[in-house]
């Protein structure tokens, strides 16, 4: 299982999170949320979709034991990790997404 170690919303509107925390208001953050699949809905921008694909290696990814595919707008990334995965996500003021792995690696796959 991977963890969203930090989720921060700097966007001007409330981001809806389809995990146990419900909603994340402007300038609010949460931490250490264990996830499988998750969706962050960013108003007027679209959904950030985290799909836990387990040990199925996405195309273009060379290392890792476990994988999460992440899509947002027209971009797609793979988060790869071994053991416990820890990732941070920030919804920036302009609605863009910043992903930072604490453990593991982010690879652009589109």
Measured at the CA of 37, the angle between CA 31 and CA 40, to 5 degrees, comes to 60
pLDDT score for 1:
78
pLDDT score for 70:
96
pLDDT score for 23:
46
pLDDT score for 107:
95
- CB distance 64 to 82 below 8 Å: yes
Model pTM?
Answer: 0.84
pLDDT score for 83:
83
Query: Tens of pLDDT along 20-49?
Result: 444 445 555 555 555 678 899 999 999 999
CATH 3.40.50 for domain 2-108? no
- CB distance 102 to 94 below 8 Å: no
| pLDDT of the chain, 110 residues: tens digit per residue | 788 888 899 999 999 888 644 444 555 555 555 567 889 999 999 999 999 898 999 988 988 999 999 999 999 999 999 988 899 999 999 999 999 999 999 999 97
Structural domain boundaries of the chain?
Answer: 2-108
């Amino acid at each position: 299982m991977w963890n969203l170690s930090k989720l921060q919303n700097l966007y001007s509107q409330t981001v809806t999170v389809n995990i146990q925390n419900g909603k994340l208001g402007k300038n609010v953050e949460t931490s250490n949320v264990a996830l499988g699949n998750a969706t962050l809905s960013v108003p007027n921008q679209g959904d950030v979709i985290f799909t836990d694909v387990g040990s199925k290696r996405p195309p273009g990814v060379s290392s890792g034991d476990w994988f999460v595919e992440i899509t947002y707008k027209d971009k797609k990334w793979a988060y790869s990790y071994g053991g416990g995965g820890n990732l941070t996500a920030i919804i920036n003021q302009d609605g863009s997404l910043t992903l930072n792995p604490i453990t593991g690696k982010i690879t652009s796959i589109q």
